[in-house]
Amino acid sequence: MDRLYTPWRYDYIKGTSGEKSGHGTSCVFCSLRDRPADDEQTFILQRARHNFVVLNIYPYTSGHLMIVPYDHAAELSDISKETSDELMDLAKRAQAILRDVYHPHGFNLGINLGQAAGAGVADHLHLHILPRWSGDSNFMTTVAETRVLP
């Protein structure tokens, strides 16, 4: 089995400032959560009551956003109904804005729960919103540095 090595993501996954989450582990999302004065530099687009919307600094496609609960939780069952309801409301709003700005042909929305499911930050749940275009070759160019030819 081939493995894709992405060392450029380590600093991001470990946390941008080295701050510790409430659980004693370094968490990039908790670090972003705790620094509202840095929103412009950290690409946070919106802060709501229970979640924030942030641009992914290692996007799979143009416009790749994430919606992140303020609570440090790894599982959907660990967040409140208010948090999950707001998360979906923000996803709907973000999708509408991305549709107006980028005119994609479709979207991927996803939550990877656990490292085995592909989560780069497995201990802090987050929702990805990715605009998609016909013929964009999925994620091959980003993750495998490979172009798919006809």
Catalytic residue among 64, 72, 124, 126: 126
**Cβ proximity of 50 and 80 under 8 Å:** yes
Q: What phi and psi, each to the nearest 5 degrees, are found at residue 83?
A: -65, -45
Instruction: Render the burial of 54-83: b for 16+ CB within 10 Å, e for the rest.
Output: bebeeebbebbbbbbbbbbbbeeeebeeeb
105 labelled catalytic: no
Which residues participate in catalysis according to the annotation? 126
